């Protein structure tokens, strides 16, 4: 029991700084901007760009490209720039060559914006030279720009994450593996959830980590700023980027236990993703636990018989046992909702119990 308690304490300590209160607007870092007059690349597939970057954070940084919607200017989504950058995420906000561009053109604009990010990582006079993690690139956009962000993930499988802001997209070929967060407004007359966001979510493969967050009484511009939905828009989006683009697992329980657990700002929340191991080399993982989160039963996919312990967040053993046979299951139906730690085969796996 002592070893389990010690390991749990280490896991919790890793995430001490990741709290609901840490998702502030603005974040802890100072922000500066770059544009083409400062020497950044002029991409052929977009028109005009501003890069927001943190000045007192430790690199390497993840990056996100954002494009506005149909007929809109970059100013319509510009509040995302200083917000993300103040949390250590370099952000490039672009315009389109034609304000009437459809989602596919906006997808190529976003991919071109990521080329500009790559260029900044090598430009000798850039304050971002050598400071960017080019494996941590995300895309986002509003309306047709949100549709373009989803299509960009189809066109470029290296994209690490997508944030679609009340997206509009007729072509629902969304066969991609990039983790995607979709915001929608319950009362959106331009991109009604039933004909847009809901279909986009359902058209994304089940194997892809995905989240749909519909803001109660929200309209088409509810996600244009991180302040939308009383600020929950920014908190959810930041946590998604931190989790999937920066690969910080501490944000997974923050999402499932706080932000997505009966949020008062949401009229609907659907998601299909699991919290991964914390403090464990996942290449050593030989056990699959599903579904996670769960309402009652969890299944373990492992060939041999195993002993297990279920530990509370405070390090207290709830119960232990041995799992045998082909169908290895643990019944959590009598437990309160929240986070638990399943210890099996020298692995500690986070399990989320929902009601």
The C-alpha atoms of residue 57 and residue 319 are separated, in whole angstroms, by 43
Residue where the block lists tokens 């989240």: 211
Q: Are strands 210-215 and 180-185 parallel, antiparallel or unpaired?
A: parallel
Residue where the block lists tokens 């919290």: 275
| Catalytic site positions | 143, 188, 220
The C-alpha atoms of residue 211 and residue 119 are separated, in whole angstroms, by 31
Phi, psi of 165 (to 5 degrees): -100, 105
Beta strands in the chain (DSSP E): 31-35, 47-54, 61-67, 89-95, 132-142, 161-165, 180-185, 210-215, 266-272, 288-290, 297-301, 306-311, 317-323, 328-331, 338-344, 347-353
The C-alpha atoms of residue 137 and residue 116 are separated, in whole angstroms, by 12
How would DSSP label each residue in 306-317?
EEEEEE-TTS-E
**298 has which bridge partners?**
330
Phi, psi of 277 (to 5 degrees): -65, 145
The 3-class SS string of 21-51 reads HHCCCCCCCCEEEEEHHHCCCCCCCCEEEEE
The C-alpha atoms of residue 192 and residue 184 are separated, in whole angstroms, by 8
If we measure between CA atoms, which residue out of 252, 83, 74, 245 comes closest to residue 153?
245
Q: Please tell me whether residue 3 adopts helix, strand or coil conformation.
A: helix
Q: Are 233 and 225 in contact (CB under 8 A)?
A: yes
Q: Are 200 and 174 in contact (CB under 8 A)?
A: yes
């Amino acid at each position: 029991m002592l070893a389990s308690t010690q390991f749990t304490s280490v896991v919790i300590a890793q995430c001490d700084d990741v709290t609901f209160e840490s998702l502030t607007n603005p974040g802890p870092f100072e922000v500066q901007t770059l544009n083409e007059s400062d020497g950044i690349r002029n991409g052929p597939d977009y028109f005009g760009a501003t890069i927001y970057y943190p000045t007192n954070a430790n690199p390497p940084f993840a990056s996100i490209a954002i494009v506005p919607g149909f007929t809109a200017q970059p100013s319509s989504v510009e509040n995302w720039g200083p917000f993300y950058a103040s949390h250590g995420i370099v952000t490039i906000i672009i315009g389109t060559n034609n304000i009437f561009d459809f989602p596919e053109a906006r997808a190529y604009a976003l991919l071109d914006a990521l080329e500009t990010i790559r260029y900044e990582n090598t430009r000798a006079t850039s304050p971002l030279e050598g400071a960017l993690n080019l494996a941590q690139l995300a895309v986002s956009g509003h309306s047709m720009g949100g549709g373009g962000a989803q299509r960009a993930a189809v066109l470029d499988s290296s994209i690490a994450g997508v944030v679609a802001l009340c997206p509009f997209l007729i072509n629902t070929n969304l066969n991609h593996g990039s983790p995607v967060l979709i915001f929608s407004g319950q009362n959106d007359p331009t991109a009604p959830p039933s004909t847009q966001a809901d279909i986009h979510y359902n058209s994304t493969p089940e194997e892809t980590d995905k989240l749909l967050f519909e803001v109660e009484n929200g309209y088409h511009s509810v996600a244009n700023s991180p302040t939308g939905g009383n600020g929950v828009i920014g908190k959810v989006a930041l946590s998604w980027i931190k989790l999937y683009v920066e690969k910080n697992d501490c944000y997974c329980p923050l999402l499932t236990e706080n932000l997505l657990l009966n949020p008062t700002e949401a009229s609907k929340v659907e998601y299909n993703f699991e919290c991964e191991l914390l403090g464990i080399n996942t290449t050593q993982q030989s056990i699959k636990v599903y579904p996670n989160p769960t309402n009652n039963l969890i299944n373990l996919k492992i060939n041999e018989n195993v002993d297990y312990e279920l530990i509370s967040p405070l390090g207290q053993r709830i119960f232990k046992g041995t799992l045998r046979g082909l169908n290895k299951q643990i019944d959590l139906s009598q437990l309160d909702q929240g986070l638990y730690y399943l210890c099996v085969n020298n692995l500690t796996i986070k399990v989320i119990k929902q009601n």
